[in-house]
A and B are shown apart, each in its own frame.
Chain A
Amino acid sequence: MNRILKLATGLMTCLMLTLLILSPAGAAPAQKNLILATTTSTQDSGLLDVLVPMFEKQTGYFVKTISVGSGQAMKMGEKGEADVLLVHSPEAEKTFMAQGFGVNRRLVMHNDFLILGPANDPAKIRGLKTAAEAFKKIAQAGALFLSRGDNSGTHAKEKGLWKAAGIAPEGQKWFQQTGLGMGETLNVAAEKHGYLLADRGTYLALNKKRHLGLEILVAGEPKLLNIYHVIEVNPAKWPKVNHAGARAFGDFMVAPATQGIVGSFGTKEFGAPLFFPDAGKKPESLGL
């Protein structure tokens, strides 16, 4: 029995040692770690690959970017498992704030959602003015529509648009949910020649790399705006959150220098900016 005990303690020591060796950089204090929960679109478009290293250099924080849908990002905030959120699901964000999970919600930037579809446009929605009309026609034609189905900001927007169109698409044969991120869902739609709702940034970034064969059919309605906010997780609810870091990240996102980069990001590569900086503006000024 003694030998087994010795063996077990030896094992545990080995385990602990190896874990220690792998622990983050050793010297850095724990509160240097900042967990940023954000949407797949900010990561898939490459924007955060530019902004996060700048922020780390300026402030010395180490940012762990966890890229999930806006829904999951806010759940992480609710549980105090993230310090700061960069999300685009305004209705859900309002509930999040009202329940006291977040503080200091600030407008960062916007781009817009597009209704994309195959070039031959079987449901004949090209050039329609509103998403509601387009969705109605897609439903009438029974044309394949790919939904994110993952509670992300894009999915929330899409559900709102279906509701506004007075259609319950769930369970219909032409309505398929991928449960994947924006980039992957665009790929699925491209392969299956389906319609979908996508944010302009991810679409432009992806279409540049690989011709998707999907065209912008409906765009420009104020309802199709895609608005990003930065929210600090409420430290009063969760004492363990790194609130100083969250505040610093929020300040960084709305700082004029950062906003300049947001506004020019992608112009060189895609010929048009992927995001429009909005810090300090009122949401109403965007036409909501």
Chain B
Amino acid sequence: MDLIFDGILQAFRLLFTLDREVLGIAWLSLKVSGLATLISLVLGIGLGTLIALTSFPGRKVLVSLVNTGMGLPPVVVGLFVSILLWRNGPLGFLELLYTPSAIVIAQSVIATPIVMGITIAAMQNLPANLRLQILALGATRTQLVWMLIKEARLPLMAGVMAGFGGVISEVGASIMVGGNVKGYTRVLTTATVMETGRGNFDIAIALSVILLLFCFLINYLLTLIQQRERPR
């Protein structure tokens, strides 16, 4: 038990003394996972809305695939992204392996199906007549989509939170495509794994506490936005 208290104390000590390495790691986590969430948001909401509002052969299979993708194991994504980004691999010329960009790519792949799946569900949950009503009021296609997205904003924000939570907490892909390079691709989760391996349990706990704090703060912010005006 002492270890956990020591770790929590250590976490606040590291935060309040503005330990440069820890702040750097935390900032990188936030930047990488934030960016990945943004990308997944654009792709996920865009494609999810498209799938939800159209019908085509094979749609059910596609939706099932997306739903399966919501549980995509990060290590599997890490493995495939590494192989693609290898120097001598198909995308090797980009020289992206072991860079923060590589982590963003892998995390986007992880988060996009999560956002997409929730978007599809959210859009289909809207009353069917709503579309007709909006169209009857003379809205263009773009306006229609925009209105529907606004109408579904509560579950969509939940999708954002799920996506962000999924990527900031994953370690498998980050360590494989980022390499846990000190001061460059070391994020909170990979640093925690490494410090545990080194036997620095207090620092590992401190990093975990910082990670949890971050998750809470971000989700609190998102919840504030989500609940800003209560739906009638």
Contacts and interface: CB of A to CB of B under 8 A. Distances in A.
Q: Taking chain A's interface residues, is the majority helix, strand, or loop, or is none over half, making it mixed?
A: helix
B90 interface: no
Interface in B93-118: 95-101, 104-105
Interface stretch (A205-213, A222-230, A256-264): A205-213
A205 B199 contact: yes
Given A22-B104, A205-B199, A30 B95 contact: yes
A63 to B, nearest CB: 8
A140 interface: no
Contacts of B142: 3
A240 B88 contact: yes
Contacts of A80: 87-88
Nearest to B50: A4
Interface of A: 3-4, 7, 11, 14-15, 18-19, 22-24, 30, 33, 35, 40, 43-44, 46, 49, 52, 62, 64-67, 79-81, 180-184, 186-187, 205-206, 209-210, 238, 240-241
A64 B142 CA distance: 46
B189 to A, nearest CB: 15
16 contacts: A4-B50, A14-B39, A18-B38, A22-B31, A40-B197, A43-B194, A44-B194, A44-B198, A80-B88, A181-B197, A184-B196, A205-B198, A209-B200, A209-B201, A210-B199, A238-B87
B166 interface: no
B212 interface: no
B184 A64 contact: yes
Interface of B: 31-32, 35, 38-39, 42-43, 46, 50, 86-88, 92, 95-101, 104-105, 141-142, 179-182, 184-185, 194, 196-201
Given A33-B95, A35-B98, 6 more contacts: A3-B141, A11-B43, A19-B96, A22-B35, A66-B181, A182-B197
A240 B92 contact: yes
B199 A206 contact: yes
B199 to A, nearest CB: 4
A184 B197 contact: yes
Contacts of A30: 95
B95 to A, nearest CB: 6
A183 B42 contact: no
Contacts of A181: 197
Nearest to B195: A183
A209 B88 CA distance: 41
